[in-house]
Amino acid sequence: MNIIIIICVPIVAFILLALGVGIFVKKRMKHEAKEFINPDFSGDISTIESIQHHFGKIRAATNNFSDDNKLGQGGFGAVYMGKLVHGKEIAVKRLSKDSGQGDQEFKNEVLLLAKLQHRNLVRLLGFSIEGIERLLVYEFVRNGSLDQILFDRTKSSKLDWNSRYRIIVGIAKGVLYLHEDSRLMIIHRDLKASNVLLDGNMNPKIADFGMARLVVPDATIESTNLIVGTYGYMAPEYARYGHFSVKSDVFSFGVIVLEIITGRKIFTQNEEDRGDLLSCAWRSWREGTISNLIDRTLSETNGGQPDMVRCIHIALLCVQQNTASRPTMASVVVMLNSSTITLPIPTEPGFYFSRTTSILHLESPNTQSPNNTYSSMGDLYPQ
């Protein structure tokens, strides 16, 4: 009898131990699989813990922030492509400087931004902090940024008029959400083609919204002493005096629309179209030759040109020098969705560049050099 007990007790103990380990491993694997799955609109992102992730796991996903995984370098940090153990792809922004905030304040801001959900915004999945390291984890958008396709002669052929119009409307809806429909009023302050990503269906997703809340301390809605943004896209009142508002984003949106329709960058040194795009568009408007601005790949199509010209008209309304004259994004969305609304006549846009120089002369409150003042908000997939 004693022999039976001696034999059975270890066997039972081993079986129970094995079952316990199996249950633990199964639960752990289930937790691992769920950890980075982006919450949908009904998901629980109500606590900091629900979006904070282990630094080592994200570092491993990017192969220790390998150059091979690097998607680009922006003004506020590098961006890496990452792949988690269970195969989910992510984009990781590694912030390059201290935000000037405490850890708790930073976490609270990230939590607020993670709750902003819109089909035309890149989803912020979470964050990680270790020492001075701060990481932001985003969904991975496979087709990269709009500028990488739009300004490539081969790739741009994929963007027919229907695709470009859908991109224009999608960007407008995303900015409108940030301005009026989100829990926070977000002014992007660096809206540009490289901060618009395209998903597998060429739907636009705005990146880097809310970065000013995370990395630019002591800024108000009215003005800031630290000008962040990209020349050509910045509204004149922001570039010169540091004054920004929702109308600053409207200006940037207008520039993007002109780029989408013309296939040209805001400023180019190409011999065939030397000069800044705003000046060219304004001259063409006044001379009645606005259709000459349309991208050649689009001008060959039939039936869409009136819509293209109307979009250029809307873009010129957005880039007017006078801030008060620019429409709100709500008005822009209405104008884009209705061909029967009579559009007002645009006034002169804000000019940046002369016809003979590529240098922007600013009357800025910031005494930084142009290289420092030109600080992108950190393109998610910068070139």
Question: What is the per-residue pLDDT for 37?
Answer: 39
Rg (CA), the chain: 25
Q: Which residues of the chain have pLDDT under 70?
A: 1-44, 96-100, 216-228, 268-275, 301-303, 351-383
Whole-angstrom Cα distance, residue 202 to residue 171?
12
196 and 215 inside one domain: yes
In a domain? residue 69 = yes
Residue 383 included in any domain: no
Same domain, residue pair 157 and 293? yes
The domain that holds 230 is classified in CATH as 1.10.510.10
Residue 7 falls within a domain, yes or no?
Answer: no
The vertex-235 CA angle with 232 and 239, nearest 5°, equals 80
- Spell out the residues 6+ positions from residue 268 whose beta carbon is closer than 8 angstroms to its own: 274, 275, 277
Domain of residue 94, residue span: 48-139
Identify the pLDDT of residue 19.
62
Q: Please, what's the largest Cα pairwise distance for the chain?
A: 108
The pLDDT value recorded for residue 269 is 57
| Domain end call among 117, 139, 161 | 139
Residues 127 and 150 grouped into a single domain = no
Is the domain of 359 the same as that of 267?
yes
100 and 154 assigned to the same domain: no
Catalytic residue among 190, 276, 295, 379: 190
- pLDDT confidence of residue 295: 92
Is 223 contained in some domain? yes
| Residue 283 covered by a domain | yes
Q: Based on the domain organization, do 106 and 166 belong to the same domain?
A: no
Count the domains in the chain.
Answer: 2
Q: What is the pLDDT of residue 198?
A: 97
* 89-125 tens-digit pLDDT: 999 999 866 666 788 888 999 999 999 999 999 999 9
Q: Which of 124, 139, 154 lies at the terminal end of a domain, its last residue?
A: 139
**Do 356 and 245 reside in the same domain of the chain?**
yes
Looking at the domain assignment, is residue 90 inside a domain?
A: yes
Do both 163 and 258 map to the same domain?
yes
Claim to verify: residue 114 and residue 186 sit in the same structural domain: no
Residues 216 and 252 placed together within one structural domain of the fold: yes
Query: Do 121 and 224 reside in the same domain of the chain?
Result: no
Instruction: Find the distance separating the first CA and the last CA of the chain, reported in whole Å.
Output: 77
φ and ψ at 346, to 5 degrees?
Answer: -70, 155
Q: What is the CATH number of the domain that holds 77?
A: 3.30.200.20
Q: Catalytic annotation on 190?
A: yes
Report yes or no on 1 lying in a domain.
Answer: no
Residue 302's pLDDT is what? 59
Q: Of 139, 173, 201, which residue sits at a domain end?
A: 139
Per the domain annotation, does 228 fall within a domain?
A: yes
123 and 174 housed in the same domain? no
Helices (H), 115-245: 146-150, 161-176, 211-215, 236-241
Q: Look at residue 4 in the predicted model and tell me its pLDDT.
A: 56
